[in-house]
Every structure is written in structure tokens, then in C-alpha cells.
């Protein structure tokens, strides 16, 4: 499995961050590649979300399912069709820096098996292979995870600031 983990500190209490992250349909506001998100359920385990992605000449709908919640600390999810992928959002209170009342570390962790991608999942243009698409998308996943975290921080804090992101990937192919 390949993995990407992006984390940062946000100047907000864990409970506020958790509620913010539980709003999966709002994710389209933060991603260049997510067109829209539809929800079937109330956000508890078993809730399904259809995330409609567009990139290059391709459109794809990922169906994710919330698999567990531990309020206000963690939201687990998995992709339920076309690729073996899962992940979680994790929130924990951390010491606040000088001049700030409260702080939380927010982690977005994604694990995926690029070799598990279904060749029927995407209607590819002629002469374009799924392997080519997978190789092009892997670096986008890292970049997009970073972009989402940066935008979430700006929205929740009400202003843009330089955000220190910790990024971990594995294997080196990501």
C-alpha cells in the first residue's frame, strides 16, 4: 500500500475541528479536483459519500463510506469501489503557541493500492493506459492532500497564514 499523511496545527479546539471535518460535502470547496460531494446518511458509520473528481479529460466518482467515528478525535473512511483505499482524519489537542488560546493537530492519512485500480473505473481516451493515468495521479494525491489541509486551516481560522505542514509518504513512488 502507498500512503500519504499530511498534518498541521490549527488554532481551534478539537471539537470545532471535528465538526468541520465531518462535513464531507464541504470538501469540494477545498479541492481543485473535487467538483461536488453528495451524502447518503447522517455522517455516522455507514454514511456514503459520492465524490466527483475531474482531472485532465477524465471524470470519476469515488464512493466513500464512513467506517468509524470517535468524536471528537477521529473519522475513519474507505473507498468502496474501483480501488483499495482508506484513511482517516485525526484531531488532537496540542499546546498552543504564544498568543493563541487553543490549538489542535489535524492529520489526514490516506492509504491506497494503485495496482488495485479497476481498469473499467474510468472511460479512458484511446491510446491512454490506466497505468499511465495512475502514474500521473499519484503525485497529484500528495499535492492535493496538502492543498486541502492549507485551505481548511485558512477557513477555520478566518484568515490565511503560513502553515507548517508535515508530509509523510511511502513508498517513495508517491
DSSP 60-117: EEEEEEEEEEETTTEEEEEE-SSSEEEEEEEEEEEPPPTT-S-EEEEEEEEEEEGGG-
Q: Of 61, 68, 66, 52, give the one whose Cα is nearest residue 83.
A: 61
Task: Specify the pTM.
Answer: 0.79
Per-residue pLDDT, 144: 79
Rounded mean pLDDT, 47-68:
89
For the chain, the domains span 2-24+66-170
Per-residue pLDDT, 120: 66
Between 168 and 13, name the one with better pLDDT. 13
Report the percent of the chain where pLDDT is more than 70.
90
Q: What average pLDDT does the structure give for the chain?
A: 85
Per-residue pLDDT, 64: 93
Per-residue pLDDT, 129: 72
pLDDT at 167 over 70: yes
pLDDT at 15 over 60: yes
Rounded mean pLDDT, 115-135:
69
- Give Cα separations from 51 to 25, 59, 63, 147 (angstroms): 8, 10, 6, 17
Residue-wise pLDDT for 59-111, tens only, equals 888 899 999 999 999 999 999 988 899 999 999 999 999 999 999 999 989 99
pLDDT band at 57 (very low <50, low <70, confident <90, very high): confident
What is the CATH code of the structural domain delimited by 2-24+66-170?
3.30.530.20
Amino acid at each position: 500500500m502507498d500512503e500519504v499523511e499530511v498534518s498541521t496545527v490549527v488554532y481551534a479546539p478539537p471539537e470545532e475541528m471535528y465538526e468541520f471535518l465531518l462535513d464531507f460535502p464541504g470538501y469540494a470547496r477545498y479541492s481543485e479536483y473535487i467538483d461536488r460531494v453528495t451524502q447518503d446518511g447522517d455522517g455516522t458509520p455507514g454514511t456514503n459519500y459520492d465524490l466527483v473528481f475531474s482531472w485532465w479529460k477524465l471524470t470519476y466518482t469515488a464512493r466513500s463510506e464512513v467506517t468509524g467515528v470517535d468524536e471528537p478525535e477521529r473519522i475513519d473512511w474507505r473507498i468502496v469501489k474501483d480501488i483499495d483505499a482508506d484513511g482517516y482524519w485525526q484531531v488532537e489537542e496540542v499546546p498552543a503557541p504564544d498568543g493563541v488560546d487553543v490549538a489542535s493537530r489535524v492529520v489526514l492519512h490516506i492509504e491506497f493500492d494503485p495496482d488495485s485500480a479497476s481498469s473499467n473505473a474510468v472511460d479512458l481516451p484511446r491510446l491512454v493506459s490506466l497505468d499511465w493515468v495512475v502514474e500521473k495521479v499519484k503525485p497529484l494525491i500528495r499535492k492535493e492532500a496538502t492543498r486541502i489541509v492549507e485551505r481548511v486551516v485558512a477557513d477555520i481560522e478566518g484568515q490565511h497564514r503560513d502553515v507548517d505542514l508535515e508530509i509523510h509518504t511511502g513508498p517513495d513512488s508517491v
